[in-house]
Amino acid sequence: MSDGAESGPGAPAQPRLVREGVPASSGIGIGRAYVVDRRRVHVPRTRIDKEAIEAEIGRFLEALRDTRQEIEVIKTRLPHGEHRAILKAQQMMLRDPDLIGRVEQLIAEELRCAEWALATATDEIHDMLDQADDEYFRERSSDITFLSEQVILALLGDNPEEITPPAGSVVVAYDLSPAETVQLHRCAVAGIVTAAGGKTSHSAIMARSLQIPAVVGVAGILGEVMSGEVVVVDGVRGAVIVRPDVDELGGHELERDEYNAFEQRIQREHAFPAITVDGRRVMTRANLSLSEDIDLGRRYGAEGIGLYRSEYMFMNRDALPTEEEHYLTAKTVIRRYSPYPVVFRTFDLGSDKPSKLLSFAKAEANPAMGLRSLRLALREREIFLAQLRGLLRASLHGPLHIMLPLVGSVEELEDGIAAVEEARDQLEAAGMAYASDFSLGVMIETPSAALIADLLASRVDFMSIGTNDLIQYTLAVDRDNDDVDYLYQPLHPAILRLIRSVAAAGAAHDVPVSLCGEMAADPRYTWVLVGLGIKELSMSPSALPVIKHIIRQSSAAEMDALTAAVLEARTAREADEIVLEVMRERFPEHLKHGGGRSALVEEDDG
Amino acid sequence: MSKAKAHEVAGELEIINPLGLHARAASKLVSLANKYSSEVFLAKGETEVNAKSMLGVLMLACGMGTTIRLRCVGSDAQRCFDGLAELVRGGFGEI
């Protein structure tokens, strides 16, 4: 396998193959594979003569300069934006005094040739970066590999031939450097598939900003496709189809064209409010955390933030966040979304979201039922109070909502409220300013909370149903467990009844009820959720345009009618069939192209 | 380098921008550090790196909330420290 050599036709026919990876850049691309396999740059390991030291260092410096210039040329071809900043950072690495010093030292003291010295120095940097506990810093190691390979190729006089795939091809590579990704954009490629990388790798970021469909992290893909073979890149679902059957190809092409047309149409209308044709208004908000672009919600037409996951402030760091940081972070988000509200969930740590900063790192036999979330916050009271003080201070800058997660009883809610009051008294005593008109809410994510929603409602300003945990706890199913995930059924009659009764309790107490689990982003469930009485949906930002569009095309009357029918169902399967029949009929494109069904970003720290 | 006595100015700073010292913030810091004649060092815990080195700064892997120690040595140490401290305290213009 070599760079893009045509080797497809003539080879024995291999069977069709489907591989899954990380959907890094949305869209569907179809084309002939152009395989780039340049993982193995051959590094010569020769010793040089003492007299040659100076010349060898000179050769190295010249290669660095050449590589910097190559990047400069690529940079001038680009519009401004995130990808330019990435290339600039790479140029700085090529001027790095530490790196240059270390290579010079290896040449002068150990008499290694420049290529060998650079490879050694790069390996040393790798070892350091690999130890970082933040994914972002670990992924920088691949940037450094690319740079080093580029310089080594320059040293070898092997001018790294530019990747020049024919227009419309799908580039399959182990990984791509930012510079190479830009080059692909110019070649008008149809899609990108890489074996390495994650959502935050630079090639993924570049592909998104250049709008090239891409699936990354498809391990082993290089051994499975040859140049010239047809490949379908499904950047919506994160799938790669190699050698699709001739009769399915037309279907994929149609899907691609429809997807593009649908995307354009939906995105054009993202800012219109979600009001049914007969006037029922549904507020649509975004779920957000520190690891994501703060403007994502605005870009997709969010009316505020319905769930800000504050626990990300506790991850991948060495010190606990201070009151000041909570204040600054909350202030930034609130200002960005004002006059719309921002709902801050107090830190929801423990179970699947551990933080090394909290002392309770005891191994638990059953973490989902253990010391997590509000329970943990009440135990780690000082940490909790610092967060609450920061949030209360930030409430001066706009409509702030504080939401307590995983409440199971009135006592727990009262303990949470007492903590908020204590934080307020502390601010009062310290003479700090805060707004007194913040609102306080509770998350409904345990069956116990759902069943006593009426009792909770009388104590709070709003309630928000977290369906991910509510389904897990009600049905006693871990959806990450392959053996039981078939039992994870959002339309199980038990779940529908719980959601309905929470919505009814909210209505009776004049307390708005929102829903912020993954169900909110799934176009199949929009009618049922609104029909059950949910007035606000909060979801992964990219799902917003699709869900809003569905609501605008529907009437509350037909939503209520479908919901009534679904509530009659005896099993989740029956309910599914009823819902799918109607929704497929009414919204075939929305269900197919699916908005944010797989786009819920959990561990995507950038 | 002038004949002025080499000064050392040092102090602790906290990284307050949400993304920490990621590539863009690090490149701002390194670019600014390179505008001064002083030598500039950045430490997290026991590890001290050359703040004029992009790779060095990246290798510290500082997330938000990390306390770093900035040390400037040279004739323009005070100006250098003040300039860099302002950049860090301002959250690298990202807040």
- A208 vs A604, which has greater pLDDT? A208
Does residue A242 contact residue A16 with C-beta atoms inside 8 Å?
Answer: yes
pLDDT in tens, A82-127: 567 777 888 888 988 889 999 999 999 999 999 999 999 988 888 8
DSSP assignment of A480-503 equals: T-TTTGGG--TT-HHHHHHHHHHH
pLDDT in tens, B76-85: 999 999 999 9
The shortest CB-CB distance from B56 to any of A95, A98, A322 is to A98
Q: What's domain A17-39+162-266's superfamily in CATH?
A: Phosphohistidine domain (3.50.30.10)
Per CATH, the number for A269-593 is 3.20.20.60
* Angstroms from B25 CA to nearest CA on chain A: 10
Interface test with B, best of A80, A103, A136 (most B CBs within 10 A): A136
Would you say how long chain B is, in residues? 95
Scanning A480-604, the segments in alpha helix (DSSP H) are: 493-508, 526-531, 544-552, 556-568, 572-586, 588-593
Query: Considering all CA atoms of chain A, what is the largest pairwise distance in Å, rounded to the nearest integer?
Result: 89
Q: Where are the domains of chain A?
A: 17-39+162-266, 50-155, 269-593
Q: How many CA atoms lie within 13 A of A208 on its CB side?
A: 16
Give the per-residue pLDDT at A600. Answer: 32
* Angstroms from B23 CA to nearest CA on chain A: 7
Per CB distance under 8 Å, which residues of B are interface residues toward A? 16, 18-20, 22-24, 26-27, 30-31, 44, 49-50, 52-56, 58-59, 61, 63-67, 91, 95
pLDDT in tens, A445-480: 999 999 999 999 999 999 999 999 999 999 999 876
The shortest CB-CB distance from B59 to any of A88, A128, A324 is to A128
The shortest CB-CB distance from A317 to any of B49, B50, B66 is to B66
Give the per-residue pLDDT at A209. Answer: 63
**Strand A230-234 relative to strand A28-36, pairing:** antiparallel
Give the per-residue pLDDT at A461. Answer: 97
Q: Is A369 exposed, middle or buried (0-12, 13-18, 19+ CB in 10 A)?
A: exposed
Give the per-residue pLDDT at A436. Answer: 84
> Domain spanning A50-155: which CATH class is it, in words?
mainly alpha
Which chain B residue shows the shortest CA-CA distance from A289?
A: B18
pLDDT in tens, A192-228: 999 887 766 667 767 776 778 999 989 889 888 888 8
Q: Which domains does chain B have, with CATH numbers?
A: 7-93 (3.30.1340.10)
Question: Worst-scoring range by mean pLDDT, A159-173, A327-341, A384-398, A491-505?
Answer: A159-173
Report CB contact under 8 Å: A85, B23. Answer: yes
Q: Could you give the ipTM of this predicted complex?
A: 0.79
Report CB contact under 8 Å: A128, B65. Answer: no
Which region, left, alpha or beta, applies to residue A169 given φ > 0 means left and ψ of -120 to 50 means alpha? beta
